[in-house]
Structure 1
Amino acid sequence: MPELSPDSARARQPGADLAELLRGALQGEHTVVLPRDRSGDVRLAPPQAYEAAGTDREAPALVVFTSGSTGRPKGVALSAAALTASARATERHLSGPGRWHLALPTNHIAGAQVVLRSLLAGTAPLQSVGRFTAASFTADVARLQETTDSGVPLYGSLVPTQLVRVMADSDAMRAAAALDAILLGGAAISPALLRSAAAVGLRIVRTYGMSETCGGCVYDGHPFDEVELDITADGLVRLTGAVVADGYVEVTDTGSGPVLRALPDAGTGFGTGPAGRRSFLTSDLGRISEGVLEILGRADDVIITGGENVSPLAVEAVLLRVLEASGAAEVLVTSVPDPEWGERIVALVRPAGGELAALAAAEPDPVELARWVRVRTGTALPRYEQPAAVLPLTELPMRSIGKPDRTAARRLAADRLGAGLRRL
């Protein structure tokens, strides 16, 4: 392999513009390798730094690392064709090309897609600076309106935690209503939150997808026009079509830049279906009801308690619906080991006011608080899905993109409950 020069292999200089780097990637000039975290550098790999490793794949346009929610982050190889198909499908689903508010980190696919959609639309996104707050969002939308030509649609992309903050502030709610659409995904979404958003005129589009599908490719339960979805006999969601990645790549850092090596499909979930269309078998359990996809949770997140399989996502949805009236803003369900049941359900709850906040201020016993919760959930959850302990927290464990960190949640629950585990 030819030696790579540092100048051509990476883009480390301050102010490197991701949109311009992506422009070159779409034209085949290089591969953009996004950093694993926000503090890292965007790097460039020329075509000769790609090893197909027995495959017939060409060098990808973009490599983005998975969130690592199920293990070590993996490099996902996304072609120019897949990225373009995804961006154009979003335009068709919304109101055409538009100007975007960028409030998500660009080292993840959701943030990178905002930049890419803007590039293809011939616009520049307005990027949020610093910590996301209701006030910063309000100011950003005002600047977005002031600097965008009349008639150009305005869009945003948020995770549920950000929308919760917006909905808690009247000025931010009015700003959000000025956007033609807000893509929302990345974590469990409270039905009551969606109803409240709709009631004040917010146009929320629920998204489902992952790095392996160039981000969201199912909007409000319906796949893009170039995407097919099906549910396997094991209940897993499979996605097929133009937006599916080429596969995973191994990224090796050298003194002269990154070297990319394609990894085989075997055991990865990637495959090739009829007519050579790429497919990806997710780890998500789902069902299709009247043509609409409903995600039930990840297969590897399933909690087995007393011989019963419990989906944390399904329990979170019920608890959110029931407890919002008492002041719950967010819920994250995990488990702790139990000698009798195998695992016991634990709910981490972030109060935002109301009766639940008052109870949390009194530092209640987690087991007693769980009994209080069970009275309110009643028959909405079967006995084995009811939490044995409830821990109120000011912030729930989250990864940088706003997805729940279930590994950290489980560790936190075990640390906080300690000896109390024996009496759950």
Structure 2
Amino acid sequence: MNELSTGTLLLILLVLIVLSAFFSSSETGLVALNRYRMRHQAKGGHRGAALAQRLLGRPERMFGLILLGNNLVNILAASISTLLFLKLLGDGGIWVSTLVLTAVILIFAEVAPKTLAATHPERIAYPASYILVPLLKVLYPFVWIINVLASAVLRPFGVKRADPRADQLTREELRTLVKEDGRQISLNHRQMLLNILDLEYGTIDDVMVPRQDIVGIDLDEDWETLLHQLTRSIYTRLPVWRGDIDNLIGLLHIRTVMVKLSQGTLTPTELERSIRTPYYIPEGTPLTQQLLEFQSRERRMGMVVDEYGDIQGLVTLDDILEEIVGEYTSEGTGRARQLRKLDDGSWIVSANTTVRMLNRRMEWDLPTSGAKTLNGLILEQLESLPDGHTSIRVGDHILTIVDMADNRVRKVLFKPWRMRRDA
């Protein structure tokens, strides 16, 4: 080695520093890769992504190979540097070699390449994988020995091989990923994805039309009244009963009688023949489960019943879909004016609006653990029937009852607490 010229030693040292930078940047690039983008690219046929995925599938082997290579070239570089500076400076070159090589490796073989790899991991990791994978096959016996010894050292501390399932995302982690890192997706589509994830926490009680607000057909009414109701109805599907909703007969799709209704030839017998058997849904059914039930049963409307079989409300497929995409149907015209903004920034809200919908649409934080509707929330907070224009504070809002009928709150004025305090 002493017979080598100064130029040769300098060339070898430069090559070793480049190799050290390669191993350092490869390690950082592989670790910094977006695992989900890498899997997507690998499935799409990207060779570099597939090789990187193979390396990351056994991280102990990858780290063993990279650290073996990095330490070998760094130690060899130190030896070459020492010889080089001994030739140039004599015995004092040992100290100069230590200082210079430390600075060179730190800057050119560690900080700079690792920063580059962390900033552009795919540009570094994918090409490096073409070299590391075959290199791992060649050096596998040495890597295996290193891993066995490292495992033996870690075993007394209870350190075991990582669970491959640890790389999977929970629902909350996926929600955070979509919300904060999904900027390449349009805002509307991102909100739909978030709504789908939030659907898991909702039940049909959150979206159903309450019993007292159900619009239907009473067959005990005279025929002229029924015809007038059918021709003027804004809904395409209506529950049908006799006398009272508890005597429910079934569900009617207006389309099945539309032709004869328009021709004036519809008869009571044909109307009853068009009524479909009612579909009942237990209260508290999760929205995700009910969405699948509607799909499998080819239904679009169901009656919500409690444990005693009493009808509590009505829910449609549109009600659930609107939890995902927002309001889109004209069929809910009766509920379309649930919110009205006033000039001073306060809101008039229909009391039959669900708390869940208010929180989602207005980004409020009203309590959802108890009552499902705004009317129920007020009664829950007051613990008694309100008398007149009662005001209560709920979170950051002042709620003032502005309209009541039949012991039910109908309209509520929402004001931010700051606005009320400033006033």
Q: TM-score range by the shorter chain?
A: under 0.3
TM-score normalised by structure 2 residue count:
0.21
TM-score normalised by structure 1 residue count:
0.21
Bigger relative contact order, structure 1 or 2 (CA pairs below 8 A, ≥6 apart): 1
Q: Which has the higher helix share?
A: 2
Q: Which has the higher strand share?
A: 1
Question: For the pair shown, which has the larger CA radius of gyration, 1 or 2?
Answer: 2
